[in-house]
C-alpha cells in the first residue's frame, strides 16, 4: 500500500440491489478490474469507502464478501447515501478499501461470543456472525442480540430465526418503540436483553455496534456485571473522509477512528465516551 | 406551448423581486457556461433576457432574486412556490432582505411622504423581508451578488439529484487557503471575515480591502467578542453596529449584533 | 559535514543564484504588498528579501518595522510556515470521466517542482518533521505530499530575533535549528556562517567560496541564539504535564475561552503542523467529468465533526478544546510528542488575540476544574 495512491477508488459494478426497508438497501458489488477483485480481501468489521460519481464518498462497513463479490448495506441518511439509493443495478461506483481494524475473532476462539447491535449496527457484525456460525465448533456459546425501533424496520429476520435453531445459540431481539410484543421479540431497548443472555462473563468476547449512547450504556453495564472491559469491543462511527488517518475528521482523543478503529477494545475509548461534544 | 412532456430537460425560472438585478446578471455573466447551461435546462422565465412565462408555469428549479416589499410580491411569490419543485434564493436581498431591510426599523410612512409626491399611490409593506419569511426555501445562496461558481455548483448538484453543498464556514478559512496575510493583524483593518460566510473566495481581503459581510453571517459567530475587538481597533460602538448593518442587516445573527452595539444597548451590557 | 564556514553578506545573492541555477524555484520571505506582513513566496533574488525589517508580534497583532540594519533575517517568523509548499491548502486528488455509465479514474500526477525554501526557521522545520510523520511515516503514504517533499531544499536560518509570541525554547524546538536542513545559516552583521546538513546541501556549496568561520564569529552566533532564547517570555507547560489537559475537559476555562474565541479557525490555518483537510467533488457543469479535491479544513468548522445529520462539536467550547487537547495532549499518543513547536502563530494571527500558551498554563493550573 505504501507506494499506491491510497485516495484513488477503483471502479465497481452494482450487480444486484435489494431494498431492505424504505430507507435501507443492500448492494452486491464487484470490482470491474479482475486484478483488483483478485487482490481484494477484507477482515470482518472493516469498511470500504464507496464513491458516487460527482457527489462524494462515504464510509460503509463490509456486510459480507465471498471472494469476488462484496455486499454493503446502506441506510439513506445523508447527501451521498440518499443519492446512492436511487442507483439501479448495473450502475458503476468507486470503491477503495478495505480500511480499519477488525473484530477480534482470532482471539475469541474457545470463548463465548456475544454480539450486541442496534439498528443498522447489525450490518458490520454480519460477516462475523456468519464466520462463527460456519466455524461453530471452534467457539463457545453464541448470543446474538439486536435491537430495533420497530420490528418492521428490522433487517434479515429470517436469518436471525435460522440462527436461533443452531445448537448453543441464543437469538434475542427487541423493538424499543413497538406497542405490540411479537412472538420471539421483547419490548424495550437492548438493555432488556442483557438479563436473558446466557454466556460466561469471565470467558467471553462481546462485539458491539450501534449508536454511541447504546454502546456506552451497554458496555458500562457489562463491565458492572463482571465482563472484563478488555473483552468488550465496540465499533465507532465518526466523520471519515480519507479513511487512512490523514484528514483528521474522525479523531477521538488520540485515536483515528478510521485507522486505529473502527473496532476498539472498550478501555481504549471508554474515558471519552461520556464526554459531551468530544 | 412549451410543456414539460415535450421537453425532457429540467425547467428553470429566474424571478425578480425588490433588488438591483445583480444576481440575475450573474447568469448572464456566466460566459460560455451559459451556453452549456441552456443545453442542460430550459430557462423558461427570466425577464432580464426576455423570457416571460406565466407565474403558474410548472418548473423544476426556481431561483429568486430580491426581497418581498409589497402585498403583490407576496401573492406572486406564493404562486411561484406552488409551481416550483425546488426554490432557491440567490443573493442577499432574497436570502436576508437586502440593504433595503434597513428600513425595517424606520418609519416607512414618513419616508414615503418625504420621497413621493403622492404616497397614497404607493402600496408597500412596512418591511423588506427575506423570501423565507413568506414561503419555504429549499436552498439559500448568499452573497451580494451571488457567485456564479456557487450557482453553477448548485444547479449541477440538483441535476445529479443531490442537495447543493452550501458551506457556512468563515471567510478567514478561504482567505488563509489563498495564502493571504490577515489584514486585521498586520494593519488593524476592520475586516469582517471572522463573522462572514464563505463563498466569495475571500475576494476583498485578497486585495487588501476589509470584508464587509456581503455573504451574510457564518455559522457559530461570536459577534460580541468580535465587536469588542473592532472597538479595540478604534471603532466606536456605533461604528461596530453599522459594520453588521450592511447588505445582510436583517439576517438574525447580524441584526442581533447591530442591536448589541447600537446606542445605549452596548453601555448596559 | 557540519564544519562552520563563513561568507560575506553580499554573497547571499550568489548563493541564491546558484540554487536557481541548480533548477530550484526559490521561495523566500517577502513583504506582501498591500497585506503588510512576511510570507514565503517566490523571490527573484536577495533583493526581494526583507532587508532591514523586524517583526513586532503580540496576540492579534503583527507589524514590520525598520531596524536600521542590513540584515535580511532579523525577524522571527512569517505568516505561514513551509506547510503550504508540501501540504497544499487546495489540491485536486483525482478526476473521473464518465462514459456510457462507466467510470474512468485518473489520479492527479503531481508535477512537483524542485523548490528551495530560503529562511526556514527552527520551529517550522520541527513542524515539517511532524507533518512528515503524519503524511509519510504511517501505514499509508500521501503520494501528493511526498512528491513535493522529495523536491524540497531547505535553507534554514537560525533565529537572531524572538517575537513576544515565540515560545520555541519551551517546546525544545528552537531558536537554533537542530536538524532537517540542507543548508543552515547564522546571520551576523557582516555575513553568514554556513553549515551543510545533507549531501544535496553539500553539493550546492561545493563551488561556493567560503572561508573558515572564526571562533569570534561562532561565538557571536551562539550569543544571538542565547539572547533569542532568554528574550522569550511565553512558555508552554512542561510536556509531561500536558496530558493532564485530558483530565480537565470540563473546566470552566474552556467556556471562558469560548466567550472570546471567534471559531474562525485562523489558528489552525497558520499552525505549521495542523493537517486536517476535507474532500469534495467538483463536477463539470455538463456532468461528463468530475474532479475530487481536498481543502485544508479546521476543527473550528461545523462540518469537521459532522456525523449522520448532527454536528458532534456544536459549540465553540468543544471546538477550542479539540484544537488544544489534540495539539498538546493527544498528539503525543499519535506521534510521540506534542504537535506544537512554539512558533506562536496561533496567538499572533488570532483576531481575538487568544494567547495559546497562556491558556494552556491556566488550564493546567486549574485544579478545581480537574476531575
pLDDT digits (tens, 9 = 90+) for B110-137: 888 888 888 888 888 888 999 999 999 9
Q: Tell me the Cα Rg of chain C.
A: 22
A33 C-beta neighbours (distance < 10 Å), count: 13
Distance from C-alpha of B87 to C-alpha of C281, rounded to nearest angstrom: 23
Residue B47: the pLDDT is 87
How many Å lie between the alpha carbon of B75 and the closest alpha carbon of chain C?
A: 34
| Domains of chain A, residue spans | 10-99, 106-273
Distance from C-alpha of C131 to C-alpha of C324, rounded to nearest angstrom: 17
Determine, for residues C308 and A237 on separate chains, whether the beta-carbon distance falls below 8 Å. yes
Domain endpoint, select from B131, B159, B187: B159
**Is A213 part of the contact surface with chain C (CB cutoff 8 Å)?**
no
In a domain, B219, yes or no: yes
Ranges A29-43, B9-23, B251-265, C137-151: which has the least confidence: B251-265
Residue C1 has pLDDT above 60, yes or no: no
Residue B2 has pLDDT above 80, yes or no: no
**Is A53 part of the contact surface with chain C (CB cutoff 8 Å)?**
yes
Residue C299 has pLDDT above 80, yes or no: yes
> Are residue B27 and residue B102 in the same domain, yes or no?
yes
**Is C149 part of the contact surface with chain A (CB cutoff 8 Å)?**
no
Given a contact cutoff of 8 angstroms between Cβ atoms, the answer to whether C308 and B212 are in contact is no
Which residues of B sit within 8 Å Cβ distance of C? 33, 36-37, 39-40, 152-153, 155-156, 159-160, 165, 167-170, 172-173, 176-188, 193-195, 207-208, 219-222, 224-226, 229
Domain endpoint, select from B159, B186, B206: B159
Structural domain count of chain B: 2
Domain endpoint, select from B109, B137, B159: B159
Give the residue-averaged pLDDT of C163-176. 96
Q: B269 falls in which pLDDT band (50, 70, 90)?
A: very low
Q: C146 falls in which pLDDT band (50, 70, 90)?
A: very high
B108 C-beta neighbours (distance < 10 Å), count: 18
Q: How many residues does chain A have?
A: 278
> Are residue B15 and residue B111 in the same domain, yes or no?
yes
> Are residue B201 and residue B132 in the same domain, yes or no?
no
A7 C-beta neighbours (distance < 10 Å), count: 25
Chain B residue whose CA is closest to A53: B160
Distance from C-alpha of C323 to C-alpha of C300, rounded to nearest angstrom: 8
In a domain, B51, yes or no: yes
Q: How many residues does chain C have?
A: 371
> Are residue B155 and residue B208 in the same domain, yes or no?
no
Determine, for residues B193 and C303 on separate chains, whether the beta-carbon distance falls below 8 Å. no
Alpha-carbon torsion angle A48, A51, A56, A58, nearest 10: -20
Residue C109 has pLDDT above 90, yes or no: no
Residue B56 has pLDDT above 80, yes or no: no
Alpha-carbon torsion angle B135, B141, B143, B148, nearest 10: -130
Q: If contacts are CB pairs under 8 Å, which of residues 119-138 in chain C contact chain A?
A: 134-135, 138
A3 C-beta neighbours (distance < 10 Å), count: 8
In a domain, B112, yes or no: yes
A254 DSSP assignment? T
> Are residue B257 and residue B199 in the same domain, yes or no?
yes
Give domain A10-99's CATH number out of 3.40.50.150, 2.40.30.10, 2.60.40.10, 3.40.640.10.
Answer: 2.40.30.10
Question: What percent of chain C has pLDDT above 70?
Answer: 98
Determine, for residues A246 and C142 on separate chains, whether the beta-carbon distance falls below 8 Å. yes
Determine, for residues A56 and C280 on separate chains, whether the beta-carbon distance falls below 8 Å. yes
The closest CB to that of B160, out of C90, C287, C348, belongs to C287
> Are residue B186 and residue B246 in the same domain, yes or no?
yes
Where residue C201 falls (left for φ over 0; alpha for ψ -120 to 50; beta otherwise) is: alpha
Residue C49 has pLDDT above 90, yes or no: yes
How many Å lie between the alpha carbon of B24 and the closest alpha carbon of chain C?
A: 18
ipTM of the complex: 0.94
> Are residue B199 and residue B69 in the same domain, yes or no?
no
Residue C371: the pLDDT is 45
Question: Which CATH number does the domain housing residue B109 bear?
Answer: 3.40.50.700
Distance from C-alpha of C212 to C-alpha of A155, rounded to nearest angstrom: 78
Structural domain of residue B261, as residue ranges? 171-268
A106-273 sits in which CATH class? alpha beta
How many Å lie between the alpha carbon of B102 and the closest alpha carbon of chain C?
A: 26
Q: Per-residue pLDDT tens for A98-116?
A: 999 999 999 999 999 999 9
> Are residue B105 and residue B191 in the same domain, yes or no?
no
- Phi first, then psi: give them for residue A240, nearest 5 degrees: -125, 130
> Are residue B93 and residue B201 in the same domain, yes or no?
no
Q: Per-residue pLDDT tens for B4-53?
A: 445 589 999 999 999 999 999 888 888 899 999 999 999 999 988 888 88
In a domain, B126, yes or no: yes
The closest CB to that of B168, out of C35, C62, C302, belongs to C302
Question: What percent of chain A has pLDDT above 70?
Answer: 99
Ranges A114-123, C19-28, C105-114: which has the least confidence: C105-114
Residue B1 has pLDDT above 70, yes or no: no
Determine, for residues C294 and A244 on separate chains, whether the beta-carbon distance falls below 8 Å. no
- Phi first, then psi: give them for residue B137, nearest 5 degrees: -110, 130
How many Å lie between the alpha carbon of B163 and the closest alpha carbon of chain A?
A: 7
List, in sequence order, every residue forming a beta bridge with C307; answer none if it has no partner: C310
Chain B residue whose CA is closest to C63: B186
Amino acid at each position: 500500500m505504501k507506494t499506491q495512491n491510497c485516495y484513488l477508488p477503483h471502479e465497481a459494478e452494482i450487480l444486484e440491489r435489494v431494498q431492505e426497508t424504505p430507507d435501507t438497501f443492500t448492494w452486491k458489488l464487484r470490482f470491474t478490474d479482475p486484478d483488483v477483485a483478485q487482490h481484494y480481501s477484507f477482515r470482518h468489521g472493516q469498511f470500504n469507502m464507496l464513491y458516487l460519481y460527482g457527489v462524494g464518498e462515504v464510509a460503509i462497513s463490509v456486510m459480507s464478501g465471498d471472494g469476488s463479490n462484496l455486499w454493503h448495506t446502506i441506510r439513506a441518511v445523508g447527501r451521498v447515501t440518499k443519492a446512492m439509493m436511487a442507483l439501479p443495478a448495473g450502475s458503476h461506483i468507486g470503491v477503495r478499501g478495505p480500511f480499519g481494524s477488525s473484530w477480534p475473532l482470532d482471539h475469541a476462539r474457545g470463548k463465548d461470543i456475544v454480539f450486541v447491535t442496534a439498528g443498522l449496527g447489525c450490518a458490520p457484525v454480519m460477516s462475523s456472525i456468519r464466520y462463527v456460525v460456519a466455524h461453530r465448533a471452534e467457539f463457545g456459546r453464541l448470543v446474538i442480540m439486536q435491537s430495533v425501533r420497530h420490528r418492521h424496520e428490522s433487517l434479515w429476520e429470517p436469518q436471525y430465526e435460522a440462527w436461533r435453531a443452531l445448537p448453543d445459540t441464543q437469538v434475542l431481539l427487541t423493538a424499543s418503540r413497538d406497542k405490540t410484543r411479537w412472538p420471539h421479540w421483547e419490548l424495550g431497548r437492548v438493555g432488556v436483553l442483557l438479563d436473558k443472555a446466557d454466556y460466561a462473563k469471565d470467558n467471553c468476547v462481546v462485539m458491539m455496534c450501534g449508536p454511541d449512547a447504546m454502546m456506552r450504556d451497554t458496555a458500562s453495564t457489562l463491565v458492572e456485571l463482571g465482563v472484563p472491559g478488555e473483552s468488550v469491543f465496540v465499533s465507532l462511527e465518526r466523520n471519515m473522509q480519507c479513511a487512512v488517518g490523514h484528514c483528521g475528521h474522525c479523531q477521538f482523543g488520540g485515536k483515528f477512528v478510521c485507522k486505529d478503529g473502527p473496532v476498539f477494545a472498550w478501555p481504549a475509548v471508554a474515558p471519552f465516551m461520556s464526554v459531551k461534544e468530544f | 406551448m412549451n410543456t414539460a412532456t415535450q421537453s425532457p430537460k429540467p425547467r428553470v425560472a429566474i424571478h425578480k423581486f425588490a433588488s438591483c438585478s445583480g444576481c440575475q446578471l450573474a447568469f448572464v455573466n456566466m460566459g460560455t457556461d451559459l451556453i452549456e447551461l441552456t443545453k442542460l435546462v430550459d430557462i423558461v422565465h427570466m425577464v432580464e433576457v426576455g423570457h416571460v412565462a406565466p407565474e403558474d408555469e410548472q418548473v423544476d428549479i426556481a431561483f429568486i432574486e430580491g426581497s418581498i416589499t409589497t402585498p403583490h410580491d407576496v401573492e406572486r411569490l406564493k404562486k411561484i412556490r406552488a409551481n416550483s419543485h425546488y426554490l432557491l434564493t440567490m443573493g442577499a436581498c432574497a436570502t436576508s432582505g437586502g440593504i433595503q431591510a434597513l428600513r425595517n426599523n424606520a418609519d416607512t410612512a414618513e419616508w414615503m411622504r418625504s420621497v413621493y409626491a403622492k404616497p397614497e399611490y404607493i402600496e408597500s409593506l412596512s418591511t423588506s423581508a427575506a423570501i423565507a419569511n413568506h414561503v419555504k426555501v429549499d436552498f439559500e445562496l448568499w452573497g451580494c451578488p451571488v457567485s456564479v461558481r456557487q450557482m453553477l455548483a448548485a444547479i449541477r448538484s440538483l441535476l445529479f439529484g443531490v442537495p447543493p453543498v452550501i458551506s457556512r464556514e468563515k471567510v478567514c478559512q478561504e482567505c488563509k487557503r489563498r495564502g493571504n496575510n490577515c489584514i486585521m493583524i498586520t494593519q488593524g483593518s476592520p475586516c469582517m471575515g471572522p463573522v462572514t460566510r464563505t463563498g466569495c473566495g475571500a475576494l476583498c481581503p485578497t486585495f487588501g480591502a476589509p470584508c464587509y459581510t456581503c455573504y451574510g453571517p457564518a455559522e457559530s459567530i461570536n459577534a460580541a467578542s468580535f465587536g469588542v475587538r473592532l472597538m479595540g481597533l478604534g471603532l466606536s460602538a456605533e461604528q461596530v453596529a453599522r459594520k453588521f448593518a450592511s447588505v445582510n442587516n436583517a439576517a438574525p445573527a447580524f441584526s442581533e449584533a447591530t442591536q448589541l452595539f447600537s446606542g445605549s444597548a452596548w453601555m448596559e451590557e | 559535514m557540519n564544519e562552520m564556514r563563513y561568507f560575506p553578506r553580499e554573497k547571499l545573492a550568489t548563493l541564491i543564484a546558484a540554487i536557481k541555477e541548480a533548477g530550484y524555484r526559490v521561495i523566500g520571505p517577502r513583504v506582501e504588498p498591500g497585506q503588510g506582513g512576511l510570507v514565503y513566496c517566490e523571490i527573484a533574488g536577495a533583493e526581494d528579501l526583507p532587508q532591514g525589517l523586524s517583526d513586532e508580534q503580540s496576540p492579534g497583532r503583527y507589524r514590520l518595522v525598520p531596524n536600521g540594519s542590513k540584515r535580511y533575517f532579523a525577524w522571527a517568523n512569517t505568516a505561514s510556515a513551509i506547510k503550504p509548499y508540501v501540504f497544499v491548502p487546495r489540491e485536486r486528488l483525482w478526476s473521473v470521466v464518465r462514459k456510457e455509465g462507466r467510470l474512468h479514474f485518473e489520479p492527479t500526477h503531481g508535477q512537483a517542482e524542485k523548490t528551495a525554501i530560503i529562511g526556514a526557521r527552527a520551529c517550522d522545520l520541527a513542524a515539517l518533521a511532524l507533518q512528515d510523520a503524519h503524511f509519510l511515516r504511517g501505514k499509508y503514504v500521501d503520494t501528493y505530499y511526498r512528491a513535493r517533499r522529495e523536491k524540497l531544499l531547505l535553507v534554514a536560518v537560525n533565529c537572531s530575533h524572538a517575537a513576544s509570541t515565540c515560545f520555541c525554547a519551551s517546546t525544545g524546538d528552537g531558536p537554533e535549528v537542530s536538524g532537517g536542513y540542507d543548508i543552515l545559516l547564522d546571520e551576523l552583521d557582516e555575513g553568514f556562517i554556513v553549515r551543510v546538513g545533507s549531501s544535496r546541501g553539500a553539493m550546492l556549496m561545493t563551488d561556493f567560496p567560503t572561508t573558515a568561520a572564526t571562533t569570534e564569529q561562532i561565538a557571536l552566533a551562539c550569543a544571538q541564539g542565547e539572547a533569542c532564547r532568554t528574550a522569550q517570555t511565553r512558555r508552554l507547560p512542561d510536556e509531561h504535564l500536558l496530558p493532564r489537559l485530558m483530565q480537565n475537559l470540563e473546566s470552566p476555562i474552556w467556556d471562558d475561552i469560548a466567550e472570546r474565541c471567534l471559531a474562525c479557525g485562523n489558528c489552525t490555518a497558520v499552525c505549521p503542523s495542523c493537517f486536517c483537510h476535507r474532500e469534495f467533488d467538483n463536477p463539470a457543469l455538463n456532468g461528463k467529468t468530475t474532479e475530487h479535491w481536498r481543502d485544508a479544513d479546521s476543527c473550528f468548522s461545523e462540518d469537521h465533526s459532522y456525523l449522520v445529520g448532527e454536528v458532534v462539536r456544536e459549540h465553540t467550547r468543544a471546538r477550542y478544546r479539540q484544537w488544544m487537547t489534540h495539539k498538546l495532549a493527544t498528539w503525543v499518543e499519535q506521534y510521540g510528542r506534542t504537535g506544537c513547536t512554539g512558533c506562536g502563530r496561533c496567538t499572533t494571527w488570532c483576531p481575538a488575540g487568544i494567547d495559546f500558551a497562556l491558556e494552556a498554563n491556566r488550564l493546567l493550573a486549574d485544579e478545581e476544574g480537574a476531575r
